[in-house]
Amino acid sequence: MIKPRTPPGVMELLPPDQIAFQRMLDTIRRNFERFGFLPVETPVMELSEVLLTKSGGETERQVYFVQSTGALEKAAQSGGEGTPEMALRFDLTVPLARYVAEHEHDLAFPFRRYQMQRVYRGERAQRGRFREFYQCDIDVIGKDALSVRFDAELPAVIFAVFSELNIGAFTIQLNNRKLMRGFFEQQGVAEPELQALVLREVDKLDKRGADYVRETLVGEGFGLSAEAVANILAFVEVRSTSHDDALARLDALGDGNDALRDGVSELREVLELIRALGVPEANYALNFSIARGLDYYTGTVYETTLNDYPGIGSICSGGRYDDLASHYSKSRLPGVGISIGLTRLFWQLREAGIIDTAQSTVQVLVTQMDAAHLPHCLAIASELRHGGLNTEVVMESSKLARQFKYADRAGIRFVVVLGEDELAKGTVTVKDLRREDQFEVARGELARALRVELEQSRAMR
Tell me which residues in 395-434 interact with a second copy (CB under 8 A).
Answer: 395-396, 406, 409-410
331 near a second copy, judged by CB under 8 A: no
As measured in angstroms, the least distance from the Cβ of 270 to a second copy is: 12
Euclidean distance between CA atoms 183 and 187, whole angstroms: 6
Total number of residues binding a second copy (CB under 8 A)? 108
196 near a second copy, judged by CB under 8 A: no
Question: Please, which contacts does 344-348 make with residues 24 or more away whose CB atoms are closer than 8 Å?
Answer: 344/128, 344/129, 344/130, 344/133, 345/312, 345/315, 346/11, 346/20, 346/21, 346/24, 347/11, 347/128, 347/130, 348/128, 348/309, 348/312
225, 189 contact by CB (below 8 A)? no
361 near a second copy, judged by CB under 8 A: yes
Residue span binding a second copy (CB under 8 A) among the ranges 30-38, 206-214, 307-315, 448-456: 30-38
146, 110 contact by CB (below 8 A)? yes
Q: Is 418 annotated as a binding residue?
A: no
106 near a second copy, judged by CB under 8 A: yes
Site string for a second copy, 205-244 (x = CB under 8 A): ----------------------------------------
- Tell me whether strands 86-88 and 38-39 are parallel, antiparallel or unpaired: unpaired
Q: Which of residues 111-130 bind a second copy (CB under 8 A)?
A: 112-113, 118, 120, 122
| Residue 414: strand, helix, or coil | strand
Q: Which of 14, 401, 424, 460 binds a second copy (CB under 8 A)?
A: 14
Residue 62: phi, psi to the nearest 5? -100, 0
Residue span binding a second copy (CB under 8 A) among the ranges 32-40, 213-221, 293-301, 413-421: 32-40
| Residue 189: strand, helix, or coil | coil
Comparing CB distances to a second copy, the nearer of 32 and 235 is 32
Q: Which of 81, 220, 255, 295 binds a second copy (CB under 8 A)?
A: 81
What does each C-alpha distance from 185 to 172, 196, 228 come to in angstroms?
26, 12, 10
Q: Which of 24, 28, 98, 298 binds a second copy (CB under 8 A)?
A: 98
Q: Which of 189, 259, 273, 333 binds a second copy (CB under 8 A)?
A: 273
Show the DSSP H helices in 223-257 as ranges: 226-236, 243-252
Residue 98: phi, psi to the nearest 5? -65, -45
Q: Which of 24, 92, 93, 132 binds a second copy (CB under 8 A)?
A: 132
256, 143 contact by CB (below 8 A)? no
Q: Which of 28, 86, 238, 301 binds a second copy (CB under 8 A)?
A: 86
Q: Is 91 annotated as a binding residue?
A: yes
CB atoms within 10 A of CB 199: 17
Euclidean distance between CA atoms 209 and 202, whole angstroms: 9
Which residues are registered as beta bridge partners of 304?
172
As measured in angstroms, the least distance from the Cβ of 334 to a second copy is: 12
350 near a second copy, judged by CB under 8 A: no
Q: Which of residues 363-402 bind a second copy (CB under 8 A)?
A: 365, 374-376, 378-379, 381-382, 385, 389-393, 395-396
316 near a second copy, judged by CB under 8 A: no
